[in-house]
Amino acid sequence: MPPAPLIALIDGPLPASTPGLSARADVCTLHPRAAESPAALHASHIAAAIRANAPAARLLGFSIFPGRLATSAATVADALHRAAESEAAIVHCSFGHASASPALAEGVAAVLHTGKLLVASAPARGTPVYPAACEGVLAVQGDARCSPGQWSLLNLPGARYGACPGNPGAVVRGASLAAAHFTGLLARACAQDGLESMLQTPAFTGRERIGAGGPQAA
């Protein structure tokens, strides 16, 4: 059986005690209290969601949020280039920029050129965000039909895939958590039956719609 893949998690600063954390590189200058910040909390929840489906997965953290959940496209691009040069097999981005700067687009291209998988969160409403909207990126949005171990083939303009968005009221939920669940499923597939087998068996096909009986396939 292949070893569990290394996942480059581009997010907030992960604590040293994070299960599966192999190393962390801070791409930005962190706030003095970054360890107690929303960025660190977000990163920890994303890491946990990834490992919920792939407990043996190893993480390589790239910190792009200094404390609050905001950063520059240049910082994202820097992290993408570092991830491209790393040994990670999957690069994960649970965030989105309103526009694709040339630098960000070049960072995405660098990752994809190495043959790595790049997963990014895509909101269900509103305008496209990047890197999810870049060609070749596996864009994921929340799908309430899915449990943490399921994914859906949506084939929507903004997101090809869907996954579990987490529970209502959770600290981190929505597309960010859905993308993390999907990355965990990809990582598990890499170490088991392979990606091709996984991507042929979605739990749901078609977009989610809300009816009297709850979420259904359209």
Q: Which residues pair with 25 in a beta bridge?
A: 62
The tens digit of pLDDT for each residue in 94-151 reads: 999 998 899 999 999 999 999 999 999 999 888 899 999 999 999 999 999 999 999 9
Q: What is the pTM of this model?
A: 0.93
Query: Is the pLDDT assigned to residue 183 strictly greater than 50?
Result: yes
Beta-bridged to residue 130, according to DSSP, are: 97
Question: What pLDDT band is residue 174 in, cutting at 50, 70 and 90?
Answer: very high
Domains in the chain, start-ordered, CATH in brackets? 6-217 (3.40.50.200)
As a whole number of angstroms, the longest Cα–Cα distance in the chain is: 49
- What letter would DSSP give residue 175? H
Expressed in angstroms, the distance from the first to the final Cα of the chain is 38
pLDDT, residue 43, reads 97
Q: 129 near 141, Cβ under 8 Å? A: no
User: What is the band of 212 on the pLDDT scale with cuts at 50, 70, 90?
Assistant: very low
* Start-end of H helices in the chain: 38-53, 73-85, 102-113, 175-191, 195-198
pLDDT of residue 217: 42
**CA–CA separation, 53 and 56 (whole Å):** 9
Strand partners, 90: 7, 117
Q: How confident is the model at residue 216 (pLDDT cuts 50, 70, 90)?
A: very low
Q: What is the pLDDT of residue 42?
A: 96
